[in-house]
Amino acid sequence: MTLRVAVWGLGPHAVRNVLPAVAQARGMALHGVYSRNPEVVSAACAQYGCARWESAQAMLADAEVDAVYLSTPISLHAAQGQEVLRAGKHFWCEKPIATRVDEAEALCTLSRGRGVTVAEGFMYLYHPHFARLREMVAGGGIGRVVSVVCRFGIPPLDRPSFRNDPALGGGAFLDVGSYPLSAVVGLFPDVDPEVTLAEIDTAPGSAVDTAGSALLRYPGGARAYLEWKTGVGYRNEIDVWGDAGSVSTERIFSKAADYVPRFRVLDRTGRETVEEGRAGNHFVTMLETFRGLVDDTAAAERERQLIARRARLVGHVRDRSTP
């Protein structure tokens, strides 16, 4: 069955990445779009030949809509997600799915009760790049993991949109810091680490937080150091160190569809080899995975568990942070 998808919110990211991915992904079709910006809506409808609605309520009342992909500011996700789920639609959401743990858990509980899926849009988790990194770590080639270092930093944006507005969930922590935090959950999905140190910082004159870091400790002694910043030179990298070697790679999070990943692998003696990965459009593979959750209740439940685990880690870092 082809799933009919509505996209709620048409900011630059949705127009550039989400709409084309929905149109390309197997097993789904772009049924329509909703935004408060009529010009953007008209342009999307003209390009994709899809429906439009005058209100979110009209979209959610449309019986031909099977799933809604939400791409609105972060602080709106939880309340709007509740609306989507109560309407009986599958709810797929831009990351992070909520600003608080209780909100994320409530969305998971509601989706379970309504018999529909819920999924969080960390697109990079579905790229061959991250899949191969996870294989290299889990496969034992670098031995027992002793350390993970991950950094994500972005320069000032020409169109920051909600990102500079604290009322809309702006700030580096939720927008950028959620990537390194989700990465360690992706690598170690069944373990909750202890947050031993965390900082969330705000640059002078900024209305929102602009940087942060966290030190995590795992059972067995492994440590993870995570760092994120906005308004800096671009960094996008992860290094995993084991007792038998290490692997590091760049652009683990954001990348173009034609980007070919490279892995720098060191053995126990420090001898280096370089492995090339596969390119891919992680927005398309993410959506195709979300489509698969509809027919796989076990996988759908696993996604709920991961959403909750990611939200808990974000909450622990926020609670542990010092200004």
pLDDT for 162 equals 78
The 10 Å CB-count burial string (b at 16+, else e) for 94-121 is bbbbbbebebbbbbbebbbebebbbbbb
The confidence score (pLDDT) of residue 158 equals 78
Question: What are the CA-CA distances from residue 144 to residues 83, 84, 134, 137, 310 (Å)?
Answer: 44, 43, 13, 9, 23
In degrees and rounded to multiples of 5, residue 28 shows phi and psi of -150, 165
- pTM of the predicted model as reported, rounded to 2 decimal places: 0.96
In Å, what is the CA distance from 292 to each residue of 27, 281, 286?
9, 17, 10
pLDDT digits (tens, 9 = 90+) for 7-32: 999 999 999 999 999 999 999 999 99
Residue 323: the pLDDT is 60
At 161, is the pLDDT very low, low, confident or very high (cuts 50, 70, 90)? confident
